[in-house]
Structure 1
Amino acid sequence: MPVLTLKELHLSLDGNAGVVDILKGISLNIEAGESVGLTGASGSGKSSLLMVMGGLERATSGQVTVLDQDLTPLGEDALARFRRDHMGVVFQSFHLIPTMTALENVALPLELAGAEDAFSRAEAELAAVGLGARGDHYPSQMSGGEQQRVALARAVVGRPAILLADEPTGNLDAATGEMVMDLLFDLRDRHGATLILVTHAPELAARCDRVVQLRDGQVLSDELAVAAQ
């Protein structure tokens, strides 16, 4: 049974020149434990597709089913709860709360879920990304790579079934980006999550089990990655 199914997904948004068709009839199945790289040129729709998968953008038509839950009819509050309980999301921009320490940022989703052990679990995840000694530091006191590692810890602290990553190395230099990607795949393996990764870098996509290439809002190809063959 797929953990994520898209059926005839369309997304249209209002632009300055009128309605723009972003996604055009995409259908996909993603199995539990798979790592899938979404690739394509800028404007191909890959980030929009990831946002629809995570319920962060609502499709114009079609169906999104995640863990047997149809996301299509859910309201914003229900979608937020579903993400909190089942998904971790990592963005290119780190989206840390500047007035919170690293530890508080990582513990936040667990606190919102009412977990009594939020801070002990957050400490463990910070240690897992090599930042156990930086828990009391604020984002402004950390490098870009450190902030993204905090964001990774926050994304996996709830042990999500699905991990969504949108260009997670886009704001980092090559060496730091490689370290962050190593951590991302290590965390995926440790938690057994399904990973869906948006990237423009072929070498990162090749680390996935499968690569889905988009062009002009449609699936151009859907193949096993070279490393997985």
Structure 2
Amino acid sequence: MTTPVLSLRDVRLTLGNNAGRTEILKGIDLNVTAGETIGLTGPSGSGKSSLLMLMGGLDQATGGTVQALGQDLGAMNEDRLARFRRDHMGVVFQSFHLIPTMTALENVATPLELAGVSDAFDRATQELEAVGLSHRLHHYPSQMSGGEQQRVALARAAAPRPEILLADEPTGNLDGTTGAAIMDLLFGLRDRHGSTLILVTHAPELAERCDRVVHIQDGRLA
């Protein structure tokens, strides 16, 4: 039997203190296999983004276990988690999270350099060309449109050729046409690198493109 790329068992997330605790996730069980594309859907506040952050080790579960590539994320400290993400995961956020003082090329090359990739700038150039930004290599985020910034973020996430790609509402800040183009690119990067893709989306047309849709309602799988 193939080991799941991601395996969640009775995962719970509670925020707040004793004066006011809020249960965000209430016992999530989920397996994701290699190469699968999962769409996480559900109303605002249902826990979709929180679940994605737990999968990426960006938040810690308050109960249950989250395993990625056979490793227990809950057993890792911040440094180990950062190295694990660097080596195995790509994350795309709704708000891009580019470094404003770096060019597009530098934004994509920096994580590769940190990972010790010898041809970091060559690979970064290739990834930016793959998302249609060969003419924007030396532009800063403030000189680019929202769609162009999201393309840089996609290139940065895909450049290390991660086994797992996580995307949190990657088209949320974009108009419909630009958002559709970004999703085409994201699925193209998945195919090119053979990554497992998990994306949070409110858009039914995007969910329909996934192999499986996981609907979350009030912190539980519906």
TM-score, normalised relative to structure 1:
0.95
Query: Is 1:187 aligned to residue 192 of structure 2?
Result: no
- The structural deviation recorded for 1:16 is 11
Cα 1:187/1:26, change in 2 over 3 Å: same
Alignment of 1:42-81 (within 5 A): 42-81=44-83
2: distance between equivalents of 1:55 and 1:192?
A: 21
User: In structure 1, what is the equivalent of residue 85 of structure 2?
Assistant: 83
Q: TM-score, normalised by structure 2?
A: 0.98
Name the CA distance, whole Å, in 2 between partners of 1:92 and 1:16: 32
Counterpart of 1:4? Answer: 6
Letter in 2 for 1:112: L
The 1:169/1:16 distance shift into structure 2, 3 A limit, reads farther
CA–CA distance in 2 between the matches of 1:109 and 1:209? 29
Q: Distance in 2 between matches of 1:16 and 1:97?
A: 37
CA distance in structure 2 between the aligned counterparts of 1:15 and 1:40, rounded to whole angstroms:
26
1:132 Cα deviation after fit? 1.1
Taking the aligned partners of 1:69 and 1:185, their CA distance within structure 2 comes to 26
Provide the rounded CA distance (Å) in 2 between the counterparts of 1:16 and 1:8. Answer: 22
Aligned to 2:159: 157
Match of 1:219 among 203, 218, 221: 221
Residue in 2 aligned with 1:127? 129
Q: Kindly provide the CA deviation profile for residues 66-120 of structure 1, in whole angstroms up to 9, marking residues without a partner as x.
A: 0011111100110000000000000000000000000000001101111111000
Runs ≥4 in structure 1, deviation > 6 angstroms? Answer: none
Instruction: Tell me the distance in 2 between the aligned counterparts of 1:16 and 1:204.
Output: 39
Match of 1:204 among 202, 206, 209: 206
Q: Count matched residues.
A: 220
* Superposed CA RMSD: 1.0
- Distance in 2 (CA, whole Å) between partners of 1:121 and 1:163 is 18
1:112 aligns with 2:114: yes
Q: Aligned equivalents of 2:158 and 2:104: distance in 1?
A: 14
Unaligned 5+ segments in structure 1 are 221-229
Partner residue of 1:225?
none
- Paired with 1:169 and 1:178, the residues of 2 have a C-alpha distance of 8
Q: Which moved more, 1:143-152 or 1:66-75?
A: 66-75
Identity of paired residues, percent?
A: 73
